[in-house]
Amino acid sequence: MAKVIGIDLGTTNSCVAIMEGGDPVVIANSEGARTTPSVVAFTDTGDRLVGQIARRQAITNPTNTVFAIKRLMGRRFDDAEVQRASKVLPYKVVKNDDGAAYVEIRGKKYSPAEISAFVLQKMKQTAEDYLGEKVTEAVITVPAYFNDSQRQATKDAGRIAGLSVLRIINEPTAASLAYGLDKKKDEKIAVFDLGGGTFDVSILEIGDGVFEVKATNGDTFLGGEDFDQRVIDYLADEFRKDQGIDLRTDRMALQRLKEAAEKAKCELSTVMETDVNLPFITADQSGPKHLNMKLTRAKLEALCADLLDRLEAPCVTALRDAALKAGDINEVVLVGGMTRMPAVQERVRRLFGKEGHKGVNPDEVVAIGAAIQAGVLKGEVKDVLLLDVTPLSLGIETLGGVFTKLIDKNTTIPTRKSQTFSTAQDSQTAVTIRVFQGEREMAADNKLLGQFDLIGIPPAPRGIPQVEVTFDIDANGIVSVHAKDMATNKEQSIRITASSGLTEDEIKRMVRDAEAHAAEDHKRRAEAEARNKLDNMIYATEKTLNDHGAQLDEASRKGVEDAIAEAKTKLESKDADEMNKAADALAQASHKLAEAMYSKTRQGQAGTQAPGDGGPADGQAAGGGDGAEKKEKEDVVDADFKEVKE
């Protein structure tokens, strides 16, 4: 099925994403990177390089390596922006016959659309490699302030790259889509986009699924690189004060310094202080020199204070142009890597009076929004299938008061899960199924949703009957629990409606509680399981002794009896280790018994008497059961749960 891709064609970097099974997925390129530099280079051997590779040779080939072409898209040569850019761009910007701004590379003229097409081709290829099929359609994003000519140029770029551009959407709109804000009614959204080289702020209005751009503003020469430069200069200046050498004059050192500065800046978004550690950064007659400096978040913010200040004016102007006050803004969306910086987020908070949405990767959020739009256009994203999940685990109480989960929390519904259990006592003819919801290990700590009995189980040794318990949650969240005796086919069930459940807050609290009590819950469960195991061992060994003990000599027989008696005393201890040790000791004794039995005659019976360390291959009556729930009343005893692995 032909897929439509979403492409963020950025000034510095581009990104491509696609809808997969209802979720947007960013696609990594052949070098393993989730974004691709928007750089195109033409080598003297006639090769055309795109992306990271083009960037790597830029310094050897500056006049033929084209970057930031977005600044020229759809513009006339005489535009102020073009004139300003061409002063700093190392490649040749020329006027085409029709007055449009073109670039000239090795004597050949290219339109900005053609250059961008090379980048789009790489994004297309990236998607095709991932999907294993051809891609012919795309949604491409542009800044909200792009005019008709600029949008048309972007569409042309797509066409040249072999893509039918289903739609050109605004970058702030795409970012809003990524956060699902298209579902909002009559809200005002501010999109704050601080990327590598440019700053854009947009005010949008959303109503009935349609976004309207009310105002745009920004600073086309303010970005993350400027912040990096402040750190580089600070480190270099400090070093020069200290060591008398300016690292910026040494290419090798400067490169390491740049990387270290960017790394430090990023780290300071999560910690208050970081070390900049550059051993052997340079050398002079007296020997090698190291750079080892601490950089605090406070210092970083001080170094960038004026840059942070420059973020304000465009926001204020945009609000004014939109005829809104900061208080009118309902949502703020953060785009671009620099928005990870706490100081930037703080400015946003101050300017708009609220926190920015930042759950989606800010480097990828525009491409993700484009993919969502692509999905909508292709009819993939309909409201039909928004499946719920069950917020808490569901299960039943089993031997020892343990909570045995049948359906894990966050399982998508509707869903069904079955498991087979058995009885805890000999001749038990009924089981009580108690249905619980929650995350604690012991059933009593969870919420009881309901219970019912299944009667008429044919009397049998414990562990022999098979009771299949099935949990079913339908699309509306209604839980049904069935219990069926596989011998008689008798069934009983209970239906629990969703309203017996819990609120969002209660759910969160229960999950938190479970985490807080995890250690002690684990211990209690381990105890219960150890007790069950020991109990089963005792039962099994006693049975074997009763049935076949006559074959043993007096001494061995006594040995086993003693072991059983000893084990029984341990049943009441609350110590899981002690109980497990006792179970092992009993197993040893039981082995002797088995040895004796086998040496006398052949036994074909592989029943419940198997030693606790394995159990017969049929798995049905495995000796090491997970436990059964005991009720006080003798006549109605609850199911013993042995996991019958399918």
Partner 1 sequence: MSNRNKEHSDGKNGPAEPRPDHHQHHKSDATEPGAADELKDTTAADASQAPAASEGLEAQLAEKDREIAELKDKYLRAVADFENARKRIRQQSEESVRLQRESLLRDLLPIVDNLERAVGAAQGGGNGQTIIQGVQMVLGSLLDYLRVQGVTPIEAKGRVFDPRLHEAVDHVESPHHEPNMVVEEMHRGYAAGDRILRPARVSVAKGALKRDEPDADGTK
- Report, in Å, the least distance between residue 17 CB and partner 1: 17
- Report, in Å, the least distance between residue 144 CB and partner 1: 35
- Report, in Å, the least distance between residue 407 CB and partner 1: 10
Binds partner 1 (CB under 8 A): choice among 1, 44, 80, 208: 44
Angle (CA) 601 562 566, round 5°: 130
Task: For the chain, state the CA radius of gyration.
Answer: 35
**DSSP SS3 for 534:** helix
The residue among 53 and 507 lying less far from partner 1, judged by its C-beta, is: 53
Distance (Å, whole) CA 175 – CA 155: 20
Binds partner 1 (CB under 8 A): choice among 83, 147, 249, 255: 255
Selecting among 70, 214, 265, 405, the annotated active-site residue is: 70
Binds partner 1 (CB under 8 A): choice among 9, 49, 281, 622: 49
Q: At 530, which helix (H) or strand (E)?
A: helix 518-548
Active site residue 171: yes
Binds partner 1 (CB under 8 A): choice among 2, 59, 283, 316: 59
The residue among 364 and 472 lying less far from partner 1, judged by its C-beta, is: 472
Amino acid at the residue 99: G
Q: Are 164 and 139 in contact (CB under 8 A)?
A: no
Active site residue 331: no
Q: Is 572 in the site for partner 1 (CB under 8 A)?
A: no
Site for partner 1 in 433-492 (CB under 8 A): 474-475
Q: Are 541 and 588 in contact (CB under 8 A)?
A: no
Q: Which two three-digit tokens encode residue 106?
A: 């090795």
* DSSP labels, 188-215: EEEEEEE-SS-EEEEEEEEETTEEEEEE
- Report, in Å, the least distance between residue 237 CB and partner 1: 22
- Report, in Å, the least distance between residue 279 CB and partner 1: 12
Q: Which two three-digit tokens encode residue 224?
A: 């993350």
The residue among 246 and 561 lying less far from partner 1, judged by its C-beta, is: 246
End-to-end alpha-carbon separation of the chain, Å?
36
- Report, in Å, the least distance between residue 54 CB and partner 1: 7
Q: Which two three-digit tokens encode residue 598?
A: 């086998």
Selecting among 193, 445, 638, 640, the annotated active-site residue is: 193
Q: What is the dihedral of CA 206, 212, 214, 217, to 10 degrees?
A: 100
Binds partner 1 (CB under 8 A): choice among 25, 28, 34, 57: 57
Beta bridge pairs of residue 415: 473
Distance (Å, whole) CA 536 – CA 544: 12
List alpha helices for 250-393, DSSP H: 251-267, 297-303, 305-309, 312-321, 342-352, 365-377
Burial of 556: CB neighbours in 10 Å, binned 0-12, 13-18, 19+? middle
Binds partner 1 (CB under 8 A): choice among 251, 359, 504, 572: 251
Nearest to 590 by CA among 621, 628, 557: 557
Amino acid at the residue 586: L
- Report, in Å, the least distance between residue 463 CB and partner 1: 30
* DSSP labels, 378-404: TT---TT----EESS-EEEEETTTEEE
The residue among 52 and 588 lying less far from partner 1, judged by its C-beta, is: 52
Q: Is 66 in the site for partner 1 (CB under 8 A)?
A: no
- Report, in Å, the least distance between residue 475 CB and partner 1: 5
Which stretch, 112-120, 249-257, 482-490, 574-582, contacts partner 1 (CB under 8 A)?
A: 249-257
Active site residue 485: no
The residue among 91 and 199 lying less far from partner 1, judged by its C-beta, is: 91
Site for partner 1 in 578-607 (CB under 8 A): none
Binds partner 1 (CB under 8 A): choice among 54, 69, 203, 514: 54
Binds partner 1 (CB under 8 A): choice among 25, 28, 34, 61: 61
Residues 6+ apart with CB under 8 A from 476: 498
Amino acid at the residue 170: N
Q: At 281, which helix (H) or strand (E)?
A: strand 273-284
Selecting among 3, 8, 397, 441, the annotated active-site residue is: 8
Which 8-state DSSP code applies to residue 535? H
Nearest to 631 by CA among 460, 395, 420, 428: 428
Pairing relationship of beta strands 287-296 and 273-284 according to DSSP bridges: antiparallel
Site map for partner 1, 378-417, x if CB under 8 A? -------x-x----------------------xxxxxxx-
Give me the half-sphere count of Cα atoms (radius 13 Å) on the Cβ side of residue 321: 17
Which stretch, 46-54, 139-147, 223-231, 323-331, contacts partner 1 (CB under 8 A)?
A: 46-54
Place of tokens 């990023």: 266
Q: At 182, which helix (H) or strand (E)?
A: none
Site map for partner 1, 342-381, x if CB under 8 A? ----------------------------------------
Selecting among 124, 155, 156, 171, the annotated active-site residue is: 171
The residue among 255 and 569 lying less far from partner 1, judged by its C-beta, is: 255
Distance (Å, whole) CA 622 – CA 644: 9
The residue among 56 and 159 lying less far from partner 1, judged by its C-beta, is: 56
Active site residue 70: yes
Q: Which two three-digit tokens encode residue 278?
A: 């550059």
- Report, in Å, the least distance between residue 379 CB and partner 1: 16
Q: How many positions of this chain bind partner 1 (CB under 8 A)?
A: 29
- Report, in Å, the least distance between residue 305 CB and partner 1: 30
The residue among 250 and 513 lying less far from partner 1, judged by its C-beta, is: 250
The residue among 411 and 418 lying less far from partner 1, judged by its C-beta, is: 411
Q: Are 526 and 400 in contact (CB under 8 A)?
A: no
The residue among 298 and 475 lying less far from partner 1, judged by its C-beta, is: 475
- Report, in Å, the least distance between residue 28 CB and partner 1: 11
The residue among 61 and 573 lying less far from partner 1, judged by its C-beta, is: 61
State the catalytic residues. 8, 70, 171, 193
Q: Which residues bind partner 1 (CB under 8 A)?
A: 21, 31-32, 41, 44, 49, 53-54, 56-61, 64, 251-252, 255, 385, 387, 410-416, 474-475
